[in-house]
Amino acid sequence: MQMIKGKTETVQKELEEYYTSIKGIVLFRTGRSESITYPKYNMLHTAQSINICFTGESMHQMTLFHNKQTGEACAFILGGEIDIPRIMNAAGEAVLTIYGEYGFRACRAVLMSFGKHLEDALGEFAMKSEQQQSTDDLAVNIRIDELEALQNVDWIEDILLKGTDTEE
């Protein structure tokens, strides 16, 4: 994982350079961007973007969190297979880095929003599986949706608590 921290313009430039380096081999790309103001959390104004690219050999995920009040940003780049816990742990670290001063609940709100957008983006890659199991008397279809975890508040709080020593 590559973590980039600094002023928004600098971080965005590094992400653009990374994307340019793989652009010629990208077969599929999906992305989501959002800007949110949280009045409840001292008017926290955040922007986040997720870009996932598939090159035929591997996945590349670029995520940016931007604190519009301070002009600071934190981004991370992950390569290889999609690993939801790895992505969410990296996002938790980034969120705590630039929004930690707003408190645990604000960080949780930002990470929950990120999870929703990640779920949408990854949904385009159809990360669901179905299994059929049967016995002589009973046939059962089991549907496994890995993306449902992205909306699990307890799991998101656990991610944030790993990154900080203080609880509410």
Residue pLDDT, tens place only, 82-111: 888 999 999 999 999 999 999 999 999 999
> What distance in Å separates the CA atoms of residue 159 and residue 20, rounded to the nearest whole number?
31
What does the pLDDT look like over 52-77, one tens digit per residue? 888 877 889 999 999 999 999 999 99
| Contacts of residue 20, Cβ cutoff 8 Å, sequence gap at least 6 | none
pTM value is 0.75
Model pLDDT, residue 74? 97
> What distance in Å separates the CA atoms of residue 97 and residue 160, rounded to the nearest whole number?
11
